[in-house]
Every structure is written in C-alpha cells, then in structure tokens.
Amino acid sequence: MDQLAPEERYSPYRVFSAEEWAGFRDDTPLTLAEDEIRRLRSLNDPIDLEEVKRIYLSMSRLLSAHVETSQRLFAQRKIFFGAGDAVKTPFIIGIAGSVAVGKSTTARVLKELLARWPSSPKVDLVTTDGFLLPNEILRRQNLMERKGFPESYDIGALLRFLSAIKAGMRDVRAPLYSHLTYDVLPGEFVTVDRPDILIFEGINVLQTRDLPSDGKAVPFVSDFFDFSIYIDAEEALIRRWYIDRFMRLRETAFRKPENFFHRYSQLSEDAARAIAEGLWANINLKNLRDNILPTRPRADLILRKGANHLIEKVALRKL
C-alpha cells in the first residue's frame, strides 16, 4: 500500500499538493527576508521566499496550533494533579530524512519562523551529529563505514539528553560536532535551557529497535517527540543531490588542509565523482534503504520533494 497516494482508501495521511498546502497559510505573516533565507539554506538547496510562502508558513501555522494545544493540556494536567509548581516541558519537533535531502535547511527555517511568533517563544535547535560516537571508537569497532547508521550513535547519551529536556531540567548539554574534522568535538557542548520548543534533527531520529519479550520499557528517541517531520524524495534524486553537493564541497570546504576530506580535493574530477558514487552506494544508500526510509510512516508530516529540490507534496497524518 502506498500511504502517500491521495486515492489510497486506508492511508493514515491526508495528502496535498504544494499549491493546496499553501492555501492553509491563512494570515500567517512572512517574517523572514531574502537575505536571511540565503543564510539559512544549505549548499545546493534552492529554497527562497516563494518556497517559504508556499510551504513553511502553513507549517508554522500548523505547529503553532499543536504547541498551543500542548500548553493547554499541560495546564489542565497541572489542575488534575494539583501540581502548582510543575515545570512546563518543551515541545519537541523531530526532523528525519536522508543525507542531502534538506533536513538542515528545514530545521533552520522552522526555527526562525517559530521564534518570530507574536508570543516570542524560545526555540532551540540540536542535531544528532554530536551524539555520534567519536571516530576513535568507530575505528576500534570497525564502524567508520557505518557512520550515521543507528549503531554509530551513543544512544544512551541521546536518551539521557531528551529525557532531561522533557523533565524540564535546566542547562542540559548536547555535544558538538565538527563537519570540518568529521568528528565530535571533545569537551565542547551547546547548552539547552528550558526552551519552549526544541527542534531535534537527524537522519535516524524516528528509528525503532526490537522490543523486549519481557515487556520492560525500551524508549525510542521519537518517544520524546510531540511532532515529527520526514523530508522525502525519490532515491535517484537524493543520489544526484548528494553527488552534486560532494562535487561542490570538493571545490570549496574540502580545499582546507584541515578538512577531513581534503584529500578528495586533490583528485581529478572523474576520480572525485567515482569516490562520491562509492560513498553513496556503499554507505548512504544502504542506510537510506535499511534504516531511514522504513521510518517514514512514523512521521506526523511528510514533505515530498521533486526534481527541483522544492516540495511538491505534503502528507499530514489524520487525527
């Protein structure tokens, strides 16, 4: 069954074209400028103000409704439990999808839009990259070629971080990652202090694990989410975007001697492209097929991109 097919009778989603989705913007104001969009978008991502108007303003309005409803429910639970000093916990939005599909751009644009609501909520953004095991450990465990796969993350640290956030704790630290050195930064952290909204972005954040036979609790990362988004596209398109980005980076960031991938900038164009094809086929495609794509049906909202890297279809889970 294709759950994203509009005519599918048993789909748990309502599916809209980008044009239909744009109509749900209502009177949501555009609070971003073109130069801000250029700053927020990732390499090779063509998002502009028109795409923000078409897709993101309706998303902002939808998420606003979910956050407000969650806050009302929290207030009602305080009354129910008689807990006058209960700490309000952040509304957590998870964003998943393949490498090169545009997760980071979506996360950054949403962060800016949500923070500019009239109520001026505090919005933080954390990625799962910092929770990857350090390269030293990955090499020791022969996992460097499975970096980004579920087993390459410190799941315990991920769960402790999200549990602390949901418990309303102050000054919760998340480890930082460097895309320059392609490794976790030892002893460097970002501090998250009771935001109203936390956006948590990563390729495998909707991942599940085998359930125990004894019925004991096995928390998943997504158990802490109040809303989840999956960025989707055809496999062939993601491959093209990944390789195009790799070739662009070869001419820019990879040229820095301290860059982990500096050696690729010294190769001929054909040799570099062959490396990119191999990385895609042997690592990223396997991760997409085996781990990332199977989590798509768990998302509340699916954004389907077309060949131009812009969203052409939106699927929203039915209530």
Residues 13-317: name the CATH superfamily: P-loop containing nucleotide triphosphate hydrolases (3.40.50.300)
Contact by Cβ (8 Å): 315, 231: no
Give the residue-averaged pLDDT of 272-280.
Answer: 96
Helix (H, G, I), strand (E, B), or coil: what is residue 16? strand
Residue 146, Cβ neighbours under 10 Å: how many? 16
Tokens read off for 1: 């069954």
Q: Which of 8-12, 54-58, 229-233 has the least mean pLDDT?
A: 8-12
Number of H-type helices and E-type strands within the chain: 11, 9
1 pLDDT more than 60:
no
Mean pLDDT rounded to a whole number for the chain: 93
What pLDDT, on the 0 to 100 scale, is given for residue 185? 97
pLDDT at 209: 80
User: What pLDDT is stored for residue 307 in this prediction?
Assistant: 95
CB 18 within 8 A of CB 55: yes
* Domain ranges, ordered by start, for the chain: 13-317
More confident residue, 74 or 226: 226
CA dihedral 114, 115, 120, 121 (to 10 degrees): 80
pLDDT tens digits along 66-121: 999 999 998 898 889 887 767 888 999 999 999 999 999 999 999 999 999 998 89
**Number of neighbours of residue 132 by Cβ within 10 angstroms:** 23
CA distance 314 to 297: 13
**If you average pLDDT over residues 23-43, what whole number do you get?**
92
The number of beta carbons lying within 10 Å of the beta carbon of residue 34 is 10
Closest CA to 236 of 269, 280, 282: 280
